[in-house]
Structure 1
């Protein structure tokens, strides 16, 4: 059934047809689950990983060289530990004032495209600053991130490979600069770790590419999906306008109701509950986050919803999204800024959607402040 998805339409009718077959079913020769408890259990179960037994790469290729996203322990543990300090709650708190300043600076026009003019430039500005990417290079990095996200569906095309070469060359240049003149940024900290032989040069590149893409791809779609959901549910928008401190709740309900990442996969390293060794399981995060066994009235967008257990929009287990705290903060700041500066915000034209089954978000969303 999943092959029927094109990336444009609402995937939930197909998810519900799969759910009717039970918590775990076969679809096109691959195990699929729509169940929140089962998906959460698999994500936390160390008998499942992201690479086949023996460590071979996943067929189809990737633009991420040696990133910890595609590694199982112990390499995953080692590489993730090196990147973690940059995303600590303390660091994120220090960035909040900068994010607020950027958000306000972007909201100056009466009519604009919410994605192109606000949701995208906000997180790319922040992650570029955090990584240590010069402002003149941020546009190229942002375009590259969109291509990487597209590769999750289509594999690596010639266009993507060409963009990949350019971005790796840019990172090589920045790494060389930090070797000469270290700064207070992620590139400098990874350069120091490489000098101590805690990671290889290729692993450093993979980590930087992953952090760049993960640092803004989820947030762009979170901000876009949240704004569209609020405008499509006027009572919820009025509720938020009356109490902007509901911003974290809006973020969480958006992550559940319109998960930016709709699915991920794990492979069994041994036979587990009928799943054979080296068999893949597709975890439909978007479906799990609307599991009626977990969330009452799951298809209703409700910013007052109690999220227990936590949604799986940021995954779970050892691959829980490293940038989750940053994404939540940026979503919070962006929504508060919109409510404060544009309480009469309205949609002025049709939204266009990303041509992706994995990533759920919009390409464009024209709006006006009144």
Structure 2
């Protein structure tokens, strides 16, 4: 592209940012001064660092709270029902903008796929969603996930062997372990060669804030770079698998059909991109938060070391307390009553999953970390209904194996400092978490 074309594209991107994020950010910053909880969730740095304060504020104001442009809820029961209701649909990027801004967004968007734009599973409803999900489920079966546990164990052992061999005593555990493990596992699933895994991780990191609204201009440019790079890479990867299919699930998805109808290239890229990104984003965040929780609660770590059967419950408790996905949203399809309030068609409801996960009506002493909590599995972290996370079983299995193996190998591991949280609102986790490994346990030959 020539210099003139580059300037045009840059101008289009700037206009799109202004329409989708700039205007939202401007009004959110004004709303913060007025105490609007939704504005705080969008643009307040203090809320990003500790969103629990705002979640509690919403809870105290009632089951459904009206923000400047959307309703918000942290009520577990309300979120549970809403995610399963046919009276609501998922959000499409730009879909709830005012008319003129919606037109600008539509005419300035890039050709790259977006996780909140069709044909992504996150943004479509039946019948398209039913077809896509059925095809993915046909290859991403519970049996297939169960066979992956050995692969997860192998990857975890290899990564920890490398840490021991390096002689390092202090490492940043997020890039050294929490990110490498799920990327390696999901890459095996989708036929990504080892030489390409670093690129996939880089694209994922750049695109992670794409689920947020009110991005700054620098954040938006990074997201666009990540989405465009990821889309181009996926096109090449799928083309290669078409020519040389393997025994991976991505090759199986390419050849899968529903009544003789296959996913087209755009549908394949959207589906593969979502599975690939979601397959490591959630787990990276959960592993970092899980390590931090166990280090800060040595009594709970001791319980796990004395009774390894609690690991499965512990992972659900980590998902509850430190939800890797903090919130999702739904749009009313028609006039309806919800929690005593009248909603018009198009009304946006933000379901704060992380807030619902600390609802005291459901979870006794909800801020306490309890690896034996009887109802920890009632968390909302994997959404619900027809949009329940396809990779939930894999994320649980990866996290259980990865954390148990880490603390079995390094039982005296401690954190160094406080770590750095990700600069995202919807996704929640650590971008950096330095740890002191301590003396490794003896591994039987």
TM-score, normalised via structure 2 length: 0.79
Contact 1:194 1:201 (C-alpha < 8 Å) held by counterparts: no
Q: Deviations over 1:291-340 (max 9, x none)?
A: 01111111111111111671100001000000000000000101110121
Kept in 2: contact 1:224–1:362 (CA 8 A):
yes
Asked if the contact 1:112–1:368 (Cα under 8 Å) also holds between the matched residues in 2, the reply is: yes
CA contact (8 A) 2:96 2:346 kept: no
Q: 1:354 to 1:182 in 2, by over 3 A?
A: same
- Using a 3 Å threshold, how does the CA distance of structure 1 residues 8 and 322 change in structure 2: closer, same or farther? same
**What's the offset of the Cα at 1:147?**
2.0
Higher alpha-carbon deviation: 209-218 or 9-18: 9-18
How far residue 219 of structure 1 moved from its aligned partner, in angstroms, is 0.4
CA distance in 2, matches of 1:310, 1:163: 34
For 1:138, which of 197, 201, 214 is the aligned residue?
197
Following superposition, the deviation at residue 197 of structure 1 comes to 3.3
Residue 191, structure 1, aligned to residue 254, structure 2: yes
Distance 1:360 1:159, change over 3 A: closer
Q: For residue 334 of structure 2, what is the aligned residue in structure 1?
A: 270
Higher relative contact order (CA 8 A, sep 6+): 1
Is 1:150–1:356's contact at 8 Å kept on the other side of the alignment? Answer: yes
Q: Give SS of 1:183's match.
A: coil
Cα distance in 1 for residues equivalent to 2:324 and 2:159: 22
Distance in 1 between residues matched to 2:231 and 2:261, nearest whole Å: 20
SS in 2 for 1:363: strand
CA distance in structure 2 between the partners assigned to 1:10 and 1:240 by the alignment: 28
Matches of 1:68 and 1:8 in 2, distance apart?
Answer: 27
- 1:218 maps to which residue? 282
> For 2:343 and 2:278, how far apart are their aligned partners in 1?
30
Q: Structure 1 residue aligned with 2:154, among 86, 89, 101?
A: 101
Q: Which structure 2 residue ranges, 5 or more long, are not aligned?
A: 1-36, 98-104, 439-445
> Number of matched residues?
368
**How much has 1:350 moved relative to structure 2?**
2.8
Q: Residue deviations 1:188-234, cap 9 Å, x none?
A: 22322479433221111100110111100000111111110111112
**2:428 counterpart of 1:349:** no
Match of 1:290 in 2: 358
RMSD, aligned CA: 2.1
Indicate whether 1:281 and 2:349 are aligned.
yes
* 82 and 56 in structure 1: CA distance in 2 versus 1, 3 angstrom threshold: farther
Q: Tell me, what secondary structure is at the counterpart of 1:29? A: coil
Instruction: For residue 57 of structure 1, report the CA deviation from its aligned partner.
Output: 4.6
Native 8 Å contact 1:194 1:200 kept in 2: no
Pick one of 118, 123, 141 that aligns with 2:177: 118
Structure 1: 5+ residue runs without aligned partners?
Answer: none
